[in-house]
Each structure stands twice: as C-alpha cells, then as structure tokens.
C-alpha cells in the first residue's frame, strides 16, 4: 500500500494479481448484474489507487480494506441498477456468450446459472459472508471487519448460508 | 456437516463463479491504462453522477420552475384576497 501511495504501478499490478481473481468472483456473486463485475473490479482498484495514501494498516488488513471498498461500490451499483430497472431503463439482459458451445462450456454455464440463482436467493448478509470466505479466503475475523459485524455473527451467517445453498443446489454440491 | 464438506462447498462456489477469473492480465491492463489517463478517477466519478439521476431530476425541476413562472406571469397583476372574495360572492355584493 505504501508503494501504491507513492505511485508505483508495478505494486498495483502485483495487487491485482493477488486480489483480482477473488474480487471478480466476489463481485460476480454480489452484483445484481454479474456481467458488470469486471467493470466494478476495475473501479475498485482505481479507488484503491486514489485512496492508498489514506490507508491505515493499524485499522484494517489490505484485503479487508479492498473488499470493503468493493462492497460499498457493489451496494451502490445494485441500488442504481434496481432504480433503473424500476424505471424500465435497464432490462438487465444476460450477457451473450459467443464462445463455441462445447459440452464443457455448456456444463460450466449451467453451473454458473445454478450458482447465481442459489446465491441470489440468500439474504444479502449471508451471501456476502459466504463469498468473502469462499472466493477471498478470509478468516471469520477479516469477514467481520469487512462487514462491520462480530465474528460470532459471521459464523452464524456462514452456517445458514451453506445450509441454504445445499438445499438450493439439491445436493449437487458438497 | 464437517469442515471438509464446508471447504468443498466453498471451493465449488468459487470455481463456479469465475472459471476464467484467475487470468488477471486483462484486468491489470485495463486498470493500468485507466491510471495512465489524466484524472481518470475524477472524470469517472463525475460521469457517474452526470449519467445517473441528475439529468432526470434537473429536467423535472426545470419543468416545475417553468410551470411556476408561467403561472405567475399569466395571473392578473392585482389579484389579491379582496378581489378573489368579490369574484366568489358575485357582483351583488
């Protein structure tokens, strides 16, 4: 973070390599329009770059700080998407996949659709906690710091989220 | 459920959400390109604000002021409470 604050772009590239994959998956599971995940991941890293000088390592771990920024952006984007859909300005079409439709791709797409439906059925807090654990690999303490709740509450959210997800995926998952 | 089951479910979830998310080169390129542009974040924030509810809210306010102005301009210049009462009560008053 100190390197980012002095404008080191190589440090930014390293940060993206480290947190980019998890962040994209987190946003894909959090956003009402998952195809916006890439765009919002870019926006998150730009915000991180702009605010790096204000980062305080005593207050939060880098991952916690980055995901908190991403979460705020995602909540804001979902609110606006909801408003635009309410006004009829945004029909939220699923992005078209132009890749050749091999069986592997088809299976992956079906699994992605199943995952999104199952995640969408979870309450917001359960979904966020589960995503932070599953895709960002955070500990309960880090999730608690990111979501602003206690570690005990995180454990409860995770238990409920996993149980609900197992029901929704009808045992297809572990 | 055991912790192993939970870990398996978490891994499955992560894989399902982004089979090709591990390739960070496009994301890295896009972010670094945007950083190379002058004032990228400032312009993005401004664009977000301008592109979202502001135009609609501005149009509505504009129409409201226009309607108010027209009403004021078209109303009789000396239309006060006394005139209004006399009109209501009729010419026999």
Please report, for chain B, the start and end positions of each structural domain, with discontinuous segments joined by +. Answer: 26-89
Report d(CA B15, CA B7) in Å as an integer: 12
A102-174 topology per CATH: Arc Repressor Mutant, subunit A (1.10.10)
How high is the pLDDT of residue B65?
Answer: 94
Q: Could B16 and A41 be called an inter-chain contact, meaning their C-beta atoms sit closer than 8 Å? A: no
Residue keyed to tokens 């992005």:
A95
The set of residues, in sequence order, having a beta carbon less than 8 Å from that of A122 and lying 6+ positions away, is A130, A161, A164, A165
Q: Which residue of B has its CA nearest to A47?
A: B41
Closest Cβ opposite residue B32 in set A12, A29, A43: A12
Distance from CA of A57 to the nearest CA of B (A): 23
Distance from CA of A142 to the nearest CA of B (A): 16
**Residue A148 carries which DSSP code?**
T
* Low-confidence stretches of chain A (pLDDT beneath 70): 84, 87-105, 171-174
* Residues A77 and A34 sit within 8 Å (Cβ to Cβ): no
* Residues A151 and A141 sit within 8 Å (Cβ to Cβ): yes
Closest Cβ opposite residue A49 in set B11, B18, B35: B35
For residue B16, the chain A residues in CB contact (below 8 A) are: 108, 111-112, 114-115
**Residue A124 carries which DSSP code?**
H
Q: Hey, which CATH number is domain A1-94, 1.10.10.10, 1.10.540.10, 1.10.1740.10, 3.40.640.10?
A: 1.10.1740.10
Indicate which of A102, A118, A135 best probes the interface with B, i.e. most B CBs within 10 Å of its own CB.
A135
- Say if pTM beats, i.e. exceeds, 0.80: no
Mean pLDDT along residues B3-17: 80
Span B33-90, pLDDT tens digits = 888 876 655 555 666 656 667 777 888 899 999 999 998 888 766 667 777 777 778 7
Distance from CA of B33 to the nearest CA of A (A): 10
Q: Could A135 and B34 be called an inter-chain contact, meaning their C-beta atoms sit closer than 8 Å? A: no
Compute the half-sphere exposure of residue A93: CA atoms within 13 Å on the CB side of its CA: 4
How far lies A82's CA from each of A37, A77, B77, in Å? 16, 8, 47
Q: How buried is residue B28: exposed, middle or buried, by Cβ count under 10 Å (0-12/13-18/19+)?
A: buried
List chain A domain ranges: 1-94, 102-174
The two three-digit tokens of residue A88, written as one number: 């009829």
Backbone angles phi, psi at B58, to 5 degrees: -65, -45
Structure-model confidence comparison of residues B91 and A74, the more confident one: A74
The set of residues, in sequence order, having a beta carbon less than 8 Å from that of B54 and lying 6+ positions away, is none
Q: Could A134 and B1 be called an inter-chain contact, meaning their C-beta atoms sit closer than 8 Å? A: no
Q: Which residue of B has its CA nearest to A17?
A: B24
pLDDT at B93 over 70: no
How high is the pLDDT of residue A137?
Answer: 87
The two three-digit tokens of residue B34, written as one number: 């945007």
């Amino acid at each position: 973070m100190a390197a980012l604050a002095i404008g080191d772009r190589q440090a930014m590239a390293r940060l993206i390599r480290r947190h980019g994959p998890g962040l994209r998956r987190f946003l894909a599971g959090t956003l009402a329009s998952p195809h916006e995940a890439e765009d919002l991941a870019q926006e998150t890293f730009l915000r991180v770059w702009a605010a790096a000088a204000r980062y305080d390592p005593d207050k939060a771990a880098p991952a916690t700080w980055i995901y908190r920024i991403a979460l705020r952006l995602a909540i804001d984007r979902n609110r606006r998407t909801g408003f635009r859909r309410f006004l009829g300005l945004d029909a939220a079409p699923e992005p078209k996949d132009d890749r050749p439709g091999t069986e592997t791709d088809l299976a992956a797409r079906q699994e992605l659709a199943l995952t999104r439906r199952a995640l969408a059925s979870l309450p917001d807090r359960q979904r966020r906690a589960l995503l932070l654990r599953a895709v960002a690999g955070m500990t309960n303490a880090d999730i608690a710091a990111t979501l602003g709740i206690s570690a005990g509450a995180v454990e409860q959210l995770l238990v409920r989220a996993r149980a609900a997800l197992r029901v929704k995926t009808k045992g297809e998952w572990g | 459920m055991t912790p192993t089951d939970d870990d398996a479910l978490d891994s499955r979830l992560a894989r399902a959400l982004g089979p090709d998310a591990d390739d960070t080169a496009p994301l890295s390129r896009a972010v670094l390109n945007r950083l190379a542009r002058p004032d990228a974040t400032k312009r993005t924030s401004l664009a977000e604000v301008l592109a979202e509810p502001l135009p609609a809210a501005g149009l509505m306010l504009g129409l409201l002021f226009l309607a108010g102005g027209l009403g004021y301009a078209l109303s009789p210049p000396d239309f006060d409470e006394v005139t209004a009462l006399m009109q209501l009560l009729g010419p026999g008053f």
